[in-house]
Structures are given as structure tokens and as C-alpha cells.
Structure 1
């Protein structure tokens, strides 16, 4: 057992960020096949095996450049489907592989088109409803896809709706559209005609915490996750005929999160609440027995990834946190739990560190649910605080309408292993903790949202977690913005920053969002600032780090995907140009084959090779040398290779 961070083994970058051995395991609806993602010639592809012979796996796809990251079975179990974009452009097309013949088909053969799954059925197994924006990039028209013939039939041409819902008969029942107040209107759809008036509506305050959660298979009940008239979102059942509603579940501290629903009837059998940790509660007694059985057999957290139609077999993912994640096959009838695979066996025996959920008070009285990971050997009494203050990385989540959660986190483990405390904070605007918490972030980019992060830093210093002069800020997307804000608005707080695909100019960010976000643009204007008003534009400019780039006095590392449709490359280019004009050093890494974040493991590993050496020079942790990490990647060092140890010497390849 290691006693200090200095003597703990360095976890290799590729053990955390390289390809998993296997991932995303599923079972076919009929229970005859297992499927998963695994490398083929170094790139993640889909593999299948008979359920009774898991070792007889074979690859059924041949992706060669970009990993396949998710897949799902057709309802009739005749094919496996997946979505894939080009170079991170998020124009996802749908592909299918026939299990019997091995033939692969592009089911949505269009350019610059993003597919949505509108509906699938437990009874009509040879068809699915899709949304396609090939006619107008702003709006997804609804089509019926025949899985046997591949034929697409137009069901409804979309004149301005953000989305649709169908029932188990693949009949469109509902259309959703943003209203003038920034909330959502819900319209009944009859015979593929949308009603003129909504049957339900939300105001802006409920827009991110209220949504329909689907119909039971017989269409008699519509479920909602609903915060109207309350703070945290409850699970509500609405009688489709009478409109009458009843509360199934609620929690004072957090919204109702996931549900388990009967694969055939669609009836909710269990629900989850995720405050500091994710907790499942069963409604159905038999489901309760199964969840209790899994809880008794597994350490840490678990989730049900896939189920057969007869609900006899579950694929269960287990996150023990301080061991590599494992996946099991649970036979409910036999009462057996059989190992399926361990995703990253290279992490067996590695000095993985526990994560501590903590609550941090903001200066104006909010509670910020947060997560802390400490370097190995720094906490000898196991109380969740280091024996003495250590360097720290404040790791900020994206969104910002998203959240950090409890569980294995490769970034936390990597940084802790290098000698840093790692703190992730659910600042105001984060989701999952009720609408009051989200709405407290409205129009607070660079203001109170940023204050929450600074309050967390002050907490870490005051609680003797962090060394005040050795605190870095790092994050992607909104977390990248927060990094830029940290170095410009509060230039003396952080020792350095790592910005991954973060916007620097909120005005240009809103001008370049993808066209299919147009039905939701009111939400951005209400929560960030409306560039069409004088006051809103001034607010956006004031919150944009670009205009304060000359205030940066600490080292900055930027990573950007050239094809990013959400945060365009220009966002990083702008601030790099501004810093160069002011004579401020910056290191800028561009990936020509990536989008909003880095999908290719080679690119992730390359960026972390740069980042860990950047951080080591800045706040004094350990680092695996850059070495040849950049050679398999597409990384282009646009600026500042000289600022990172070992980078200039290892360029090229």
C-alpha cells in the first residue's frame, strides 16, 4: 500500500483515456444475442456473440477513423443500429447491420442531416419513427422507417416544433414548441395534425425541469417529470383520457431522475433520485427484490443498461469507484450474476482514489453539491481531507445546464494520481437540484455562477484542502468558459487554466449555434442575455472573457476541435489572437478531426499528455513525459509549444 502521492505508481494515460477492452454491453430484446463495443484494429466497433456463448464474439462493423460510441438493438432483434457523425460535426446519421447477413445499410443516406429517434414500439417491431432535418436544418420532419426494407415514409412535415412524442402504436401523440415566455407548449397530435392550442404549458422557470416522460404502451397514462407548482421535479402520472394527475414520487432535495419501466407495458417500476449519490427506489415489489439482490452483491453504484422483453435477463453496469468498472449478466429467474467483462482491466490494482460528496455554502446561502478526490497517500486517516493542503484543480462541468455526479471519473483519477486534489462543483444553473437552483443562474454567466466557483475555492483553502498559490481551473465547454472567466475576471485566484472547447465571446457564440437549436433559442436568450436588446447585448459582452483578455497574467492551455458545431473554432482563435496582441503567452492545440470534445482516444491521450505537463510546471504535480503521445493524434500546436515541457521536442509524426 502506498503512503504518499510521490510513491504511488503513475497511472498510464492510455489506461484511463485509451480504448476500453469492452464497453456499452447490451442484450437483444429476445435474449438471444449479446452486443458490446470493443476495438477492432484500434478503433471502437460493435461486436456480437450468442447469449449462450459470450466468448464467441465477432465484430460486425468496420469503423476505421472515428470510434462508434453508442449502439442499440432494433425492436425485432434482427439488426443492430448505431449513429455516427463526420469528424465531430454532430450531423449524426443512422446505420443498421443485419445480424443474419452481416449487411450494413445507411438508413438515413443524407448530407448535413442529424437524425433523432422519435419512437420505437414493443409491439410493432419492424418499424421506428425518426426525425430528420434534411429538408430544413432547423426542423426535424417525422418519418417512418421500415427496418425490413429500409424505406422512409414522411409522416409529418415539421413547421416549427422542437420535438414530438409517439405511443407504442407509433402514432404521434404530442408536439413540443417553445413559447414566447421561454417555456414549452405541448400540443396534442391527432391523425398527424398538430392541435392549434396546447393542452399543457410551462413557463420559463420550469422549462429545464419539466418534460413528458412517455406513455404507457396502452396509451392510457402519460408520465411527466414535473416541477410546476413546486421546486424539485416530481414523477407524475396523467390519465390520458381525463387529464387527471397523481404524484408517484418526489424528493425535497433533488429532481426525480431516471426511471425503470416495464419493457412491454411501459409502466414505471422504479425511480432514481440523484442528490449527492444516485439512489433507486422500487415501486414494483419484484423489481425491488432484484434491486436488493444487486445491492447485496455489488459494491459502489450500479445501473441497468439493457433488459430483455420478457425482463428475465438484465445487463448490469457496476461502478465500484476504486476498482475498474465491470458489467454483469443478471439472470433474474435463476438468481445468478455472471461477469460479462471489465472495461479497463489495466486499472486493476491501480491506486484509484475514493470520491467524497460534499456540500459547500455559497456566499448568498445556496448549497452547492460538490465532489472531491484527493491524491493517493494524502489522507492517512481517511476523513476526506488531506493531512496538509495540496495543489488543487477546480474541474468545472460543461452545459452549464448539466451536472457533476458521484462515480468513477477518469479526469478526477488522472489528476489525483498526479498529486492534485480535484474539486467539481455544481454551481447555480446546474441541473438536478430543482428549478430554483437552475434559475438562480439566469443571466449570471461570469457573475454569481462564477462567484460560486470562487466560493468553492475559498472553501478549499479555508478547509486546508488546497494550497492557495497552487490552484488551477480546468473544464470543457461551459467549463472552458469558466476557465477563461477565472483567468480574466479573477486573475489572481488561479495559478493557471486549461480551457477545452470553451466560448470566449458570448455574442458570437449565440450567432453560431447549430440551426437545429433554433427552436430553443429563446431559452439561451432568457438565461444568458438577449443579443437583440441593448441591455442583453451589454450583458453578454460584459460576461465575455475575450474583452478582458489583456487581464490574463497566468499560463493558459486551450484545446479546440476544428469541426465543433456548438463552440466554433473562432471562439478559441479570437482569444488566442487577443492574447498574442497583448504579448501574453498561450498554448493552443487544435484537432482538425474533432468537434465539441475529443472522441478519438489518440486525441484525448495527446491532450492529456500536454495538459499534465502544463499543470506540473504550473502547480507542481507529477507528469508522465509527453514522449510519443502526439504522434498517433491529429494534434496541431498552433501556439506556444515552448511553454510545455517536452512538447517542442516531440512534435511531428
Structure 2
């Protein structure tokens, strides 16, 4: 019966009820890229519930199915300079990483390497030798990521840059050679520079972890580089830095209201084309007249859409762009500069009809200590704006470089709004984009002011009569899942129920059991979350695993058995203890899934269960 409800279309509150599968099916086409020579478009497309690689010739428009995996989807893929594609496959059952190369001329596939519990990412392509790419891998030591030169013709792997143990990021020049690295002792962060491959690295910048310097690219003038920096300022700015001295040469662009969070860069001209940031909505400031003209063309043809450049060919004549709104998952286009031609390549989800979905509206309120908190409200169609059922959605891990809610299309938000719920997203203190002071105000506050910001937001919705105080749910993943459990533990009666995806239930094991590759950042986690030795009382006081007696509201829990951050035996015991406390718990543990469910079948089951759970516990009338 539940499946019949989930996959039928009916009317709710005057709006068309969209089937679950239309929100959460695998994208029709995604991860578009263009070959460096501009002759081919590549993308991922589902085949038997797995994402596979497809290549389309721009000369004749013919599409070729390059892979036909039915066990696991492709993970990441990259073009080389000689029309080769390199990609990886995460074999979840055995925790293996397989790396393949595909020759476009012959469409022949060959396995380059297999590694157990290995993580890999491509750092750069090498212009002087198109068969070589630089890859960062932890194949020799699970706790240390080194850089290797991988020959995609022969599969030969040679050491290029041995990590002394504290290198965390690598930044190549336009030729693909690594000349800047970032190192961390967990508290202090250091930028090191070398003039060429034969020179030693030297320290040029050292900052406390609260301060950020993120290199972008070399400017082509002397040894200067562009970077995002909040040194001696609260809001991150786009600056130019002398790599020899580490000194800031000039500030290129800053915004007094928000951190600059992204840039678009021309490799050919060694020039930043625009800086971007987020206030209520995404914003851009153009630093290049040519790119400003291109975007003006985009905006004329795609009115009302947010637009991003995804990829470009080496000559910077052909671009892949992505367009989207809060109500439209969007589409991909090919833009040919010389022809001034925009051609649609594919929709992410053509089943979605934007006029049936709901607007995401920016909001702000004052927390109980006076701090201004921002967020978003999405109201269901056809509903009065008062006394409505609300689903609170706190975001995940608060301390990463892009840890926040943003304006744009979110299938979970639209699914819940379509089912008649107001969706409340909070950018609590610790969230990024609002400056250094606001970000650092969240340190060691995962069970303190961060949770209070969420609670204050719920009380604000009740006070202004948006929320029906008897119909409020909380739903989150990761640290957002912790916030959901914290809410029903320490604010009894505020929430009807909680939904938890890959949630943190014990900060002791969460910190202790970090994957080996995360070890260099462990000290930073102590500073941001807490030290299991010196902050033991604090971590015990907030970890849900120690407070099952406080939980009374119904819970719905989802977990992937192969999530490297999860302690499955502890989670199983947590659920058993909740049952002993007579807490209504529905628990779904999925084999061969990590934190995020990649199987379409598992996703459909999860959101069908979420729909039933909310209908039961929020008693929303059909």
C-alpha cells in the first residue's frame, strides 16, 4: 500500500503530488566535461541503475557508450591531453579502488591499477607529456597521501612528491607541475613554495587554522598567485600573493557582507574572470569584460536562471555551462564562443516541472544571544503561511570550506514541500560564507550554541505563527543527524519525530575512528569539536549514545554499512537500547552503501519510508 501511495499522483493542498521516483531518480545526464581539444563531450548516464561513461562527438553528434558497468557506478573521471579518459570505480563490497583508462580513438578500456582502501584524485595533467597525469594517492601508507606520476598508456606509476606526513593539498602551475603545497599540523596551516621540481619547498605563509589562505592559480607575473584569504580581515577576499615572500601584493576584490567563496579562472590568459559569493542568493562580480559579455549572453537566453561554467576546452572557445533555479534542477549547455551559440546538451531531470515546485526564500532571525542567523524557508504551494507543519533540516558538518545551506534546487526540500511541509534550513554559527568570526564562533559548539541557534529558529517560527507547534519534525545527515537526535533528546516536546541519515551518535568514536587519511587533521578536529581526553565531559554530555533514556519521540534511521565514518556495531547497539526504552524506532541498514545511498532502489525505499513516517507522526491530512 505504501508503494502505491508513493508512486501515484494525487492532489494535496491544491498542488500536484509528484511521485517519489521523480525527485530521486538517477540524473538523466550528469558530470559533463569537454575534451581539451574541444572535439568531444563526455558525461555520466544511468545504465541498469549504475552511472556509466558516455562520449559524444561534436563533429557528427554520435553518442558512444564507453562503459557498461552493472556492479558499481563510476566515481570520478578526467580528460588527458591526448584524448584519453581516466576514471575510478569504488568497489564498495571489498573496499577497493579501481582506476581505468579509456582511449577515445579505439574506445578500448584497460585497468591501470587496483588498490585496497585507497583514495585517489587527479591533481594535474602534464602538457609536455600528454600520457602523464599527477595523482594523489595513499597507496603506500593509508595515513599519508603522496603524489605520483601515472602513465595512462602503460599503467606505470612513479613517485613524484613524497609527503613528509603533513602535506594536505597540492597546487600545480599551468604546466601541471606542483609548485605550491599546503601543510598542516592540525592547528597551524602552512603554505610552501618551490620555483621548480628540482628546488626544495620553503615555508612562505603560516596561519592558525581559523585563518584561511587558499591558492587558486599563478598569475603569470613573476611568481605571484591568486588566492582566497581572510588574513587580517574577517571576510575572505580575492587577493594576489608573492610566492617568494608570502606577502599579499594587493586585494583584487572583497565584499563587506560575505566571504568570496569561488572564482572563475582563465588558464590561457592567467586571469581571474569573476569572483562569487553567497548572501541571500548567489552573487558574482566580473573582473573581465569578455567574460561579463559572455554571461550577459547567457542571461539573455536563460532568464531567471543561475548560471555556472563547468568546463572549457584548452583554447577556451567551447564551454560547458550549467543552469538551475531553486525550483528547477537545471540543464547543461554547450557554448561556442566564436559562433556565439548556445546548445542544450541535456536536462538533469526532465520529469520535474518547475511551476509545480516551491520557492526557497531567504530569512534571518536573532538567536537568543542576539547573533544574527540566516537561513531559508520553503513553503508548500497552496497553503496559508500560518500554523503549518514544519520539517527542520540542519546541514551536515559545520567546519568544512562549503558547510552551509545555499539557495538552489534541493530534491529533499522540494519533496517535503510538495508533501505539504514548510522546510526550514538554518545556517547556524560555524557555517561558512559569513566571515571568520561567525565561522569560528561555532568551534566546540556542536552541542552548544549551534544547537541553540537551531532551537531559537524553531521558536522564532512558532512565535511568528508560521509553525504549528504540535507538528514539527527534524531531519538531518551526519552532524545534521546528530542535531536531530540532540533535538529530541534535550528539547522534549519540541519535535514530533526525527529522521537521521548516517548520523553521529558518539563523538568519542567519531573522532577516534577517523579514516587513516584524515589523521593529519585530527588535531584540528580536537580544536573544532573537542578533544576526547581534555573535553571528555563535554563530549559525553552531548553524544546521543549516552542519552537513550532522554529520547521519547519516534525515530527513523538510515545507514550505509560501508560508511567509513560509521561504527555499525555501536549504532546497532544504540538502536537496541532505544527499543529497550520503548522508543518507536525504524532502522534501515543497507549493505554495499556508504553514507549516501547510490542505489536508486535504496533511495526510493528511503524516501518512501520518510513519507510514511512523517504522515504517521505529523498527521498531515490528505
Give the alignment's TM-score, normalised by structure 1: 0.88
In structure 1, C-alpha distance between the alignment counterparts of 2:311 and 2:345, rounded to whole Å? 13
Provide the secondary structure at the position in 2 that maps to 1:475. Answer: strand
Task: Tell me the CA shift for residue 465 of structure 1.
Answer: 1.7
Q: Which residue of 1 aligns with 2:6?
A: none
| Contact map agreement 2:126 2:177 (CA 8 A) in 1 | no
| Contact map agreement 2:137 2:146 (CA 8 A) in 1 | yes
Task: Tell me the CA shift for residue 176 of structure 1.
Answer: 2.4
Task: Tell me the CA shift for residue 84 of structure 1.
Answer: 2.4
Provide the secondary structure at the position in 2 that maps to 1:150. Answer: coil
Go from structure 1 to structure 2 and tell me whether the alpha carbon gap of 1:147 and 1:12 turns closer, same or farther (over 3 Å shift): same
Q: Which residue of 160, 168, 175 corresponds with 2:181?
A: 175
In structure 1, C-alpha distance between the alignment counterparts of 2:586 and 2:28, rounded to whole Å? 33
Provide the secondary structure at the position in 1 that maps to 2:88. Answer: strand
Does residue 617 of the first structure (1) align with residue 616 of the second (2)?
yes
1:577-592 equivalence runs, <5 A: 577-592=576-591
Does residue 322 of the first structure (1) align with residue 323 of the second (2)?
no
Task: Tell me the CA shift for residue 190 of structure 1.
Answer: 6.2
In structure 1, C-alpha distance between the alignment counterparts of 2:492 and 2:457, rounded to whole Å? 16
1:468-487 equivalence runs, <5 A: 468-487=469-488
Q: Which residue of 60, 65, 79 corresponds with 1:59?
A: 65
| Contact map agreement 1:502 1:572 (CA 8 A) in 2 | no
1:273-292 equivalence runs, <5 A: 273-292=277-296
In structure 2, C-alpha distance between the alignment counterparts of 1:475 and 1:49, rounded to whole Å? 38
**Could you give the per-residue CA deviations for residues 236-272 of structure 1, whole angstroms, max 9, x where no partner exists?**
1113345442111111222111111113344212111
Provide the secondary structure at the position in 2 that maps to 1:508. Answer: helix
Q: Which residue of 252, 256, 270 corresponds with 1:252?
A: 256
In structure 1, C-alpha distance between the alignment counterparts of 2:128 and 2:242, rounded to whole Å? 22
Q: Which residue of 2 aligns with 1:29?
A: 36
Structure 2 gaps of 5+ residues are: 1-8
Higher strand residue share: 2
In structure 2, C-alpha distance between the alignment counterparts of 1:145 and 1:452, rounded to whole Å? 48
| Contact map agreement 1:300 1:318 (CA 8 A) in 2 | yes
Provide the secondary structure at the position in 1 that maps to 2:620. Answer: coil
In structure 2, C-alpha distance between the alignment counterparts of 1:350 and 1:227, rounded to whole Å? 40
Task: Tell me the CA shift for residue 228 of structure 1.
Answer: 1.2
Does residue 267 of the first structure (1) align with residue 283 of the second (2)?
no
Does residue 236 of the first structure (1) align with residue 243 of the second (2)?
no
Q: Which residue of 79, 86, 101 corresponds with 1:73?
A: 79
1:6-21 equivalence runs, <5 A: 6-21=13-28
1:376-525 equivalence runs, <5 A: 376-378=381-383, 386=385, 388-401=386-399, 402-525=403-526
Q: Which moved more, 1:85-94 or 1:433-442?
A: 85-94
**Could you give the per-residue CA deviations for residues 507-560 of structure 1, whole angstroms, max 9, x where no partner exists?**
011111101000111111001111132xx1111111211111111111001000
Task: Tell me the CA shift for residue 585 of structure 1.
Answer: 2.3
In structure 2, C-alpha distance between the alignment counterparts of 1:57 and 1:18, rounded to whole Å? 22
Q: Which residue of 358, 364, 370 corresponds with 1:359?
A: 364
| Contact map agreement 1:114 1:132 (CA 8 A) in 2 | yes
Q: Which moved more, 1:330-339 or 1:486-495?
A: 330-339
Q: Which residue of 1 aligns with 2:532?
A: 531
In structure 2, C-alpha distance between the alignment counterparts of 1:284 and 1:59, rounded to whole Å? 38
| Contact map agreement 1:172 1:190 (CA 8 A) in 2 | no
Provide the secondary structure at the position in 1 that maps to 2:15. Answer: coil
Q: Which residue of 152, 157, 166 corresponds with 2:172?
A: 166
**Could you give the per-residue CA deviations for residues 551-603 of structure 1, whole angstroms, max 9, x where no partner exists?**
11110010001011123324532421221232322111001111112122221
Q: Which residue of 2 aligns with 1:642?
A: none
Task: Tell me the CA shift for residue 30 of structure 1.
Answer: 1.1
Go from structure 1 to structure 2 and tell me whether the alpha carbon gap of 1:445 and 1:349 turns closer, same or farther (over 3 Å shift): closer
In structure 2, C-alpha distance between the alignment counterparts of 1:109 and 1:264, rounded to whole Å? 35
| Contact map agreement 1:183 1:202 (CA 8 A) in 2 | yes
Task: Tell me the CA shift for residue 189 of structure 1.
Answer: 4.1
How big is the alpha-carbon RMSD for the aligned residues of Structure 1 and Structure 2?
2.3
In structure 2, C-alpha distance between the alignment counterparts of 1:587 and 1:32, rounded to whole Å? 51
Q: Which residue of 1 aligns with 2:566?
A: 567
Task: Tell me the CA shift for residue 108 of structure 1.
Answer: 3.6
| Contact map agreement 2:97 2:115 (CA 8 A) in 1 | no
Q: Which residue of 220, 225, 228 corresponds with 2:228?
A: 225
Go from structure 1 to structure 2 and tell me whether the alpha carbon gap of 1:70 and 1:8 turns closer, same or farther (over 3 Å shift): farther
Provide the secondary structure at the position in 2 that maps to 1:107. Answer: strand
| Contact map agreement 1:257 1:273 (CA 8 A) in 2 | yes
Provide the secondary structure at the position in 1 that maps to 2:192. Answer: strand
| Contact map agreement 1:156 1:192 (CA 8 A) in 2 | no
Q: Which residue of 2 aligns with 1:636?
A: none
Task: Tell me the CA shift for residue 63 of structure 1.
Answer: 1.9
Go from structure 1 to structure 2 and tell me whether the alpha carbon gap of 1:617 and 1:193 turns closer, same or farther (over 3 Å shift): farther
Q: Which residue of 2 aligns with 1:630?
A: none
Task: Tell me the CA shift for residue 227 of structure 1.
Answer: 0.8
In structure 2, C-alpha distance between the alignment counterparts of 1:198 and 1:456, rounded to whole Å? 44
Task: Tell me the CA shift for residue 622 of structure 1.
Answer: 7.0
Does residue 294 of the first structure (1) align with residue 312 of the second (2)?
no
| Contact map agreement 2:95 2:117 (CA 8 A) in 1 | no
Go from structure 1 to structure 2 and tell me whether the alpha carbon gap of 1:564 and 1:543 turns closer, same or farther (over 3 Å shift): same
| Contact map agreement 1:88 1:564 (CA 8 A) in 2 | no
Does residue 303 of the first structure (1) align with residue 302 of the second (2)?
no
Q: Which residue of 1 aligns with 2:210?
A: 205
**Could you give the per-residue CA deviations for residues 319-373 of structure 1, whole angstroms, max 9, x where no partner exists?**
0333441222112222222221112111136611111111222222222221111
In structure 1, C-alpha distance between the alignment counterparts of 2:198 and 2:396, rounded to whole Å? 37
